[in-house]
Structure 1
Amino acid sequence: MKKALKITGITLLTILILLIGIPFVFQSQIKDAVKSFINDNLNAKVEFSDVSLSFLRSFPKAHVSVSNLNITNFEPFKDETFVTAKNISFTMSIKELFKNTDEDPIVINSISVDEALLTLKTDSFGNTNYDIAKKDNTTPATETKSGGFSFDIKDYSINNSALTYLDEQSKMAVYITELNHKGNGIFSAEKSELDTKSEANVSFTMDSTNYLNNNHIKLDALIGLDLDNSTYTFKENTGYINQLPLEFHGYVKLLEDGQDVDISFENPGSSFKDFFAVIPETYSKNIETVETTGNFKIKGVIKGLVSEKTIPTLDINIASNNASFKYPDLPKRVANITINTSIKNTTGNADDTYVDINTLDFKIDQDVFKSSATIKNLTGNMLVNANIDGVLNLANISKVYPIELNNNLSGILKANVNTAFDMDAIETNAYSRIKNKGVIDLSNFNFASEDFANPIQISNAKITFNPENITLNQFNAKTGKSDLNATGTIKGLLGFLLSDKPLQGNFNLNSNVFAVNDFMTNEPSDTEENKNSSKASLKIPAFLDCTINAQANTVEYDNLKLKNVKGTLIIKDEQAILQNLTSNLFDGDLTVTGLVSTKAETPTFNMDLGMTSFDIAQSFQGLELLQNIAPIAKAIQGKFNTTLNLKGALSSDFTPNLNSLSGGAFAEVLSSTINPLNAEVLNKLGSSLNFIDFKKINLNDLKTQFEFSDGKVNVKPFKFKYQDIDINVSGSHNFDKTMSYNAVFNVPAKYLGSEVNRLIGKIDDASTNNISIPITANITGSYINPSVKTDLSSSVSNLTTRLVEIEKQKLLNKGKGKVSDLLGGLLTGDKKTTETDSTKTKTTQVDSTKTTTGSTVQKEIKNVLGGLLTKKKKDTVN
């Protein structure tokens, strides 16, 4: 017994070793076969990371895996990915591995595909990216031969995969996600059946219209296979659209030029609860608890030829009569529901398919709402004719349907409208082909949303639909502190609602109070410091293309209150353009022209502002911008004019980001007084230059220009006067309040102290009355803590030295003049002159202040006379 067990164990171990080891022998053969199959059958670039073989995984069959398959197209879809798959597995009999693939192909029994992504495309020229099979591969359906493989499929599966189909010609897009499909069959000459199970989420869009939006589709079908006649018959099967069950009957037969289809379907029950089953579960909520009455039936027949030129005829009907529903947790019921809708095509021409909504009516309380529509030419230039007639209390929506609203919705909507149009007219703004007529009234409407800072309350709104345009006859609304009253015309409403076209219009808007903050949204701050707070932001809607002629008694922006605001606002392409906006502000007049743009992540602006007769104190207290451009104005009271050109970025609260500003300005002071106590820099200047009283400075008619960028203001040199002192100022400062200025004071000498004035008095000459010196003050530091340095001391010292020198020169020149006069008298014997000079000499000697001068004159006279006499003697001797 032990020997038998030992032999059995050794045998099993040997088999196990062989099952593990033998695949390595055949792996190269399988890899070559895969490459041969690809090269012989596909016109595409194919890559895969590995091919592996296992005998254990699908024992007693061999299991082959191709890992990380990637197929990309050649022209005209060069380098575009056609398909990727994480893994493709095949199973086959082990004996297939011993075949010579050049003579006998390997027969594949099952295929499994995991995590595949397949993209099928048809471009505008009709080229397809999936036509990659090489030609002349004609084999029977039961045994398809391709290179080193043939297929005799018993079962297959596709797991966790996705498929995308894009057709540029028909403007069609199909997205299938979370696709799981498997099938297994019984194949024989007499009877063949394929049992399939499929599940996926499907989205379907055609010509900008979304017909399915991630709808859950499920189909469990037993399909009879008549392989000799290429006919596939639906037997026992049930499909699901969302939660609605549908039973299918009929067949599909493959023909040389297409498929012959004859399929009928219907929902097996008839309860109105099936209507909710069509709605995606996310929106229909828990339909098991909904109370319903009445019936709901879907029946359809699809019959005919599917080819490049034709589609099957369609006869699909959806009907419900006198139905109702009520959610158990909600107070109200929707009653008298009538649905009569059909989808038909009687010709097989795709363009002749149409939807006829004969009736779609319901009632809530006493409010009856009726509608009908026909939609034709679905695959071409779609034609729509729709009617709406009824009353709807919007507050009842949340009372009959479990919709989640942050705030209660309320208001009465009354509509009686007919519209007829084609989609091409919507796309091209061919308004003459858009026929509208009727009226919509909305009253006592209240709505709240994350897109608005405050709930919107529309007391009355009335829209009249005319063939030419849509007229806004009345619009009265409030939000926060703001009130709005508007009239105007609207263009492109249907284009906006149906095809993402901009909403166009011309409006007249009046408001008593318009607060900009009421139209800002709150978004979470992404900074750690403010993560528990919020920041305000404003986004100009991209869909708006309108002109608004606005007038408001008061506009509140930040901490400003603008009065009597008038102007034109053009909103287009995420920009707000202001034209000739005028307002009263700071006891003066304001004009604004420019734009604000929110196209980029950071909003920007470019504005020209004109300010006339602005009160200096009010404006510089209320506007941070002016505080930074001219902070010294804090100490000035009076009126000024200015023109400003500003451009830069806006911060999150829609105020200018000062460091981003660039532009220039011209300013003119009309009348002013100065309080130096309000500016530390003036206090320090006054302390350094005690001959100036800044309270008495008059800046009237002062004009100056400055430019700014990168947070720096450059002031062009300007002049003003204090009494008879000329003052020249130039320099720059930064928005961080640091500064670098030079002020040059052209100061008459009389202001420079007693010593200077004593010297000027001693000179006693008219020329000294105009003596002045430049005194320079260097101003640095910040406005809060300024540093003032002047050259006053050195300038006064230099002036004193000059005055002493002038005095000496004048005395010298004065003495020489007297000597000349005296000599002239002596030589001519003019007693009068001598007496006069003698008298003057005596007078000079008596005058104690002129003693030195008299003595000097006498000495000079003696020296001169002595020289003359000595010279005469010498001449006589000779």
Structure 2
Amino acid sequence: MRKFITWFFGLTALLILGAVGAYYLAKKYEEPVRNYIVGEVNKRLQSPVHVSDINFSFLERFPSASLVMDSVWAEENIIKIGDPDTLFFFSKVYLNLNVFDIIDGQYKINEIETRDGFMNLFVDEKGYDNFHIWVKNQDTTGFLLELDKVHVENTFLSYRNLSREQEYFMLADDVDFKGRFSDESYTMSVAGDGFVTDIVIKGTSYLRNRVVNVRTEMDIINSEEHYVFREGELKIDNLLEFEVTGELKGQGADLHVIGHDLDIIKSLALIPQESRTSLDAYSSSGTLSFECNLEGAFGRTTNPSFQANFSVNNASISKEGTNWKLSNLTGSGSIDNGSKRNFATSSVSVSDLNGQLNGDAFTTSFTYRNFTQPELSGDINLRTDIGATKEFFGIEWIEQGSGMLTLDASISTILQNPDKPEARDFLNSQASGTISIRDATMKLKDDVRNYSIDSAKLIIVNNALDIQYYSGKINSCQMDLQGRATGFLDYFFSENGKVQVNGSIQAGDINLEELFPTRNKASAEESSVVVAFPSRASWNLDFEAETFKNGKLVATDVVGQLRMSSFKVEAVNLEFNSQRGEVKGKAGLYRFSDNQYGLKTEFLTNQVDAKELFKTFNNFDQEYVISEVLEGKLDAEIRFQSFCDSLFNIDKQSIVCSADLLITEGELIGFSPLIDVAGKIRKRKLISLFVAEDELTNRLQHIEFDSLTNQISIRDGVISIPQMAVRSSAIDINISGTHSFEDEINYELDFALSEILELKNRKEPYNEYVQRDSKGNTRIYLTVKGTVDDFDVDLKKSELRKSVQDQISTETKTVKGLLNEEFGIFDNDSILHVEEEPTELKIEFNPEAGTEAADDTLTKDAASPTEEKKLLNRLIKKTESDKKKLKDGDFEDDDF
């Protein structure tokens, strides 16, 4: 214990003695050392150095004595480059000296230390710098004769050389420089850690935000600016280790860099940022070997030659957030900046790269030339799952997919912007190869349909794709396709590329509701097609289908041509069987705005079952003539156009239609609107004088006719029916008029009194209500006005009939003119060029033996308008059986 106490007090006394001695020596030598060093520094500087405080210490940097300066900063040398700024700043600077040299009176610095500061070094376009602050021709050998170490800690260095287009930004965390700095030629060792913020050479970033570790030795000849790397080690991000040898002389370089066992993704990330996309989401394993030579000068307009060779062995690459993985990668390649030593002549080549994509083997080789406007050429042989291909190539228009894809192809093209390929990049591309697909399923972006491919073989021919065969389904619709897709590479690799498909398609059962996106349906029998056009594709296909279905419409043996683009879909040269008959024609749907479409059709029907037709189309959304009361075969030529929305809701007021109709073997069974006419006649006592309403009602219960022809037109929500002469098993009758979509009716009809005459053996002359036709038959003329639920039947003056018929005929011609003007579908229709009034149409229905057909032309001199007798007097003369009724005044206003 005594011994310990003795040592303790002895050491304490020694320390106190040393501290006192150090304090004494510092006080003794502080003034001469400070005056000498500050004086020597000021003699050698062109720009002033500012120091907030200077102290001399024997203990702070023991065993060296140290002149400690706080908050040291200097101004730029601004003789040539403008307003001054701060050249450097350090919170602490230590100038360390040997203690024994001080005692001998020699004040020579052997070490400099800086802490917590920055240096801004700058060279302008003409080569003038801001950091030559030493006075020229001043000898520094005596002053810095013993300097052999510089230590820099937590100092940011910024070096910008505009004349050479170079910028260096880095942080020195802890760096030591050792060497005989006062010698003309010496060996310097550098060791330390730092962080490179950026290195930019001629606008290109080469190393950004990287941790670096440096260990190197170099021979330096100051007078020649000659630096020879004996050996050097450079570590980046604590992962990439490079050996550096060679030399720097003046502006020239001749360096040899070798890297072993490098991380692949981290190495690729060293490629200049302007020529690569972000690799932060990728990870890798395996080894990359790298060897390069850098030779030449970093001039204002020139770069050194750069050549590198690399190889990978047993490597793997994957991407975060995806399911694909490249594994067992083995191959080699090279990098060369070309004859002009810039990005325009640079290239990367990979030869015979073998590996696996999600366990499926592949081989590839490619060359990437000209980093400013890259030219890509290469080939690939791959057999893998479609889902992995979609994620690996970044195919955005495929939402998800599976199935086997076999690809054996090559391509050569120029990419204007490699980060975002555009359609024009592939216009003149050269490509070839084969794509095979089997047992695949896919969902496309913004598309609710399911696509399946049983088998397909596709041949790549430059920017087109020859479809040798394609067999698959869209939802449940089976389709077989052959043809050619022009612009395939545009569509596949870019977001705005368009493809045009020409060919033929064979289908089984097509359900239109499954081919297009659908909406919720109130009834399973209602059509629910939503209009959807391809945004980047156009189709021109000959097609055949066994059956076609849309709602209640079922067609068989369908043939035609399908034309589809982003603004229209057309089916032309259509032929199919439906409603027990044959149909030919064309149909088109055209997009005018987001929710406005134009619909145009032109069809010829042959022996179509009228009942089935009305049933299929839900009685055309009306309840006046329904399928339950109708029988017959329909031959028609129908031209139709209208506007609709994306759900096929027709704007009825926009409908323009012309229909030439022929109905044979026709029947009207229990047609209540016509039967109701007889009921209305019963209430009109004046009309009932001439008509046996019970007989009329009985006959109208079931009407049979052999044929009926007419030409019906629709415009402004009104159906116009020209006069037609109906001869049927029930009654011979002439009918014409109009019927609006609001069920407002205005019909004219006339018939022979001889068929349903109430009064026998009439001999009285005829008036404007009762006339004799050219065959001598007595006829009565009626009008039916109102709505289908509430209408009136009145007598009609015969002389007004012709003007009404003329109006309907004119309307028919107007409708055809509108159709011809807007859609050009009646260019050859003769009705538009006939100046004389057309011959009135006739309809013959089941004529009975010995009965003459009623002529539909009126006797010109019938119903003279100058006749002055009153209506009541004429009726008295012609209705002897009702004289008593007339005398008693039993008639009411409505009877007339």
CA distance change for structure 1 residues 239 and 616 in 2, over 3 Å: closer, same or farther?
A: farther
What is the distance in 1 between the residues matched to 2:332 and 2:481?
40
Secondary structure of the corresponding residue to residue 453 of structure 1: coil
Residue 780 of structure 1, aligned match among 756, 764, 786 = 786
- Shift in Å at residue 512 of structure 1? 0.8
Contact 1:453 1:518 in 2 (8 A): no
Contact 2:379 2:409 in 1 (8 A): yes
Q: For residues 215-238 of structure 1, what are the alpha-carbon distances to aligned partners after superposition, in whole Å with 9 as ceiling and x for unaligned?
A: xxxxx9842246899974454453
What is the distance in 2 between the residues matched to 1:192 and 1:390?
61
What is the distance in 2 between the residues matched to 1:747 and 1:315?
108
CA RMSD, 1 decimal: 5.6
Determine the structure 2 residue equivalent to 1:480.
475
What is the distance in 1 between the residues matched to 2:590 and 2:290?
53
Q: Map of 1:683-832 to 2, 5 A cutoff? A: 683-689=675-681, 690=693, 691-692=695-696, 693-722=699-728, 726-735=732-741, 737-748=742-753, 751-753=756-758, 756-757=759-760, 770=776, 772-782=778-788, 785-791=789-795, 802=874, 805=877
Amino acid at match of 1:508: S
- Shift in Å at residue 392 of structure 1? 0.8
Q: Map of 1:427-826 to 2, 5 A cutoff? A: 435-465=430-460, 470-498=465-493, 500-521=496-517, 537-572=530-565, 574-598=567-591, 600-601=593-594, 602-624=596-618, 626-627=620-621, 631=625, 635-654=629-648, 656-676=650-670, 679-689=671-681, 690=693, 691-692=695-696, 693-722=699-728, 726-735=732-741, 737-748=742-753, 751-753=756-758, 756-757=759-760, 770=776, 772-782=778-788, 785-791=789-795, 802=874, 805=877
Asked if 1:356 is matched to 2:349, the reply is: yes
Amino acid at match of 1:747: A
Secondary structure of the corresponding residue to residue 700 of structure 1: strand
Secondary structure of the corresponding residue to residue 262 of structure 2: coil
- Shift in Å at residue 622 of structure 1? 1.2
Asked if 1:143 is matched to 2:55, the reply is: no
Determine the structure 2 residue equivalent to 1:238.
196
Amino acid at match of 2:568: Q
Asked if 1:223 is matched to 2:197, the reply is: no
Q: For residues 640-680 of structure 1, what are the alpha-carbon distances to aligned partners after superposition, in whole Å with 9 as ceiling and x for unaligned?
A: 1222222233333346444443232222212211112xx44
Contact 1:248 1:263 in 2 (8 A): no
Determine the structure 2 residue equivalent to 1:172.
none
Contact 1:759 1:803 in 2 (8 A): no
Determine the structure 2 residue equivalent to 1:70.
none
Contact 2:663 2:707 in 1 (8 A): yes
CA distance change for structure 1 residues 807 and 702 in 2, over 3 Å: closer, same or farther?
A: closer
Amino acid at match of 2:616: G
Contact 1:298 1:319 in 2 (8 A): no
Contact 1:192 1:225 in 2 (8 A): no
Contact 2:548 2:556 in 1 (8 A): yes
- Name structure 2 gaps, 5 residues minimum: 1-74, 89-116, 123-128, 134-154, 172-194, 199-204, 215-250, 417-421, 682-692, 767-771, 799-868, 881-896
What is the distance in 2 between the residues matched to 1:650 and 1:267?
69
Secondary structure of the corresponding residue to residue 733 of structure 1: strand
Q: For residues 554-574 of structure 1, what are the alpha-carbon distances to aligned partners after superposition, in whole Å with 9 as ceiling and x for unaligned?
A: 112233221111011123453
Secondary structure of the corresponding residue to residue 706 of structure 2: coil
CA distance change for structure 1 residues 152 and 645 in 2, over 3 Å: closer, same or farther?
A: farther
CA distance change for structure 1 residues 443 and 682 in 2, over 3 Å: closer, same or farther?
A: same
Contact 2:738 2:747 in 1 (8 A): no
CA distance change for structure 1 residues 640 and 367 in 2, over 3 Å: closer, same or farther?
A: same
Greater length-normalized contact order (CA 8 Å, ≥ 6 residues apart): 2
Secondary structure of the corresponding residue to residue 757 of structure 1: coil
What is the distance in 1 between the residues matched to 2:786 and 2:206?
76
Secondary structure of the corresponding residue to residue 702 of structure 1: strand
Secondary structure of the corresponding residue to residue 613 of structure 2: helix
Determine the structure 2 residue equivalent to 1:337.
329
What is the distance in 1 between the residues matched to 2:735 and 2:87?
97
Q: Specify which structure has the higher proportion of helix.
A: 1
Task: Select between 315-324 and 663-672 the one with higher mean Cα deviation.
Answer: 315-324
Amino acid at match of 1:615: D
- Shift in Å at residue 579 of structure 1? 2.0
Q: With structure 2 as the length reference, what TM-score do the two structures score?
A: 0.53
Amino acid at match of 1:224: Y
Percent identity of equivalent pairs:
15
Amino acid at match of 1:575: K
Secondary structure of the corresponding residue to residue 508 of structure 1: strand
Contact 2:619 2:626 in 1 (8 A): no
Asked if 1:416 is matched to 2:415, the reply is: no
Secondary structure of the corresponding residue to residue 472 of structure 2: strand
Determine the structure 1 residue equivalent to 2:314.
322
Secondary structure of the corresponding residue to residue 618 of structure 1: helix
Amino acid at match of 2:746: Y
Amino acid at match of 1:143: G
- Shift in Å at residue 750 of structure 1? 6.2
CA distance change for structure 1 residues 598 and 368 in 2, over 3 Å: closer, same or farther?
A: farther
- Shift in Å at residue 375 of structure 1? 3.9
Contact 1:606 1:647 in 2 (8 A): yes
What is the distance in 1 between the residues matched to 2:252 and 2:707?
93
Secondary structure of the corresponding residue to residue 444 of structure 2: coil
Amino acid at match of 2:363: K
Contact 2:119 2:158 in 1 (8 A): no
CA distance change for structure 1 residues 229 and 383 in 2, over 3 Å: closer, same or farther?
A: closer
- Shift in Å at residue 389 of structure 1? 0.4
Residue 387 of structure 1, aligned match among 379, 386, 395 = 379
Secondary structure of the corresponding residue to residue 379 of structure 2: strand
Q: With structure 1 as the length reference, what TM-score do the two structures score?
A: 0.54
- Name structure 1 gaps, 5 residues minimum: 1-108, 110-138, 145-150, 156-182, 194-219, 251-259, 809-878
Contact 2:264 2:284 in 1 (8 A): no
CA distance change for structure 1 residues 671 and 502 in 2, over 3 Å: closer, same or farther?
A: same
Secondary structure of the corresponding residue to residue 621 of structure 1: helix
- Shift in Å at residue 141 of structure 1? 7.1
Contact 1:612 1:642 in 2 (8 A): yes
Determine the structure 2 residue equivalent to 1:112.
none
What is the distance in 1 between the residues matched to 2:321 and 2:582?
60
What is the distance in 1 between the residues matched to 2:536 and 2:397?
24
CA distance change for structure 1 residues 439 and 740 in 2, over 3 Å: closer, same or farther?
A: same
Determine the structure 1 residue equivalent to 2:366.
373
Task: Select between 411-420 and 598-607 the one with higher mean Cα deviation.
Answer: 598-607
Contact 2:477 2:515 in 1 (8 A): no
Amino acid at match of 1:751: I
Q: For residues 743-781 of structure 1, what are the alpha-carbon distances to aligned partners after superposition, in whole Å with 9 as ceiling and x for unaligned?
A: 32233156242xx22666999xxx999562423132422
What is the distance in 1 between the residues matched to 2:207 and 2:705?
83
Task: Select between 767-776 and 707-716 the one with higher mean Cα deviation.
Answer: 767-776
- Shift in Å at residue 286 of structure 1? 7.2
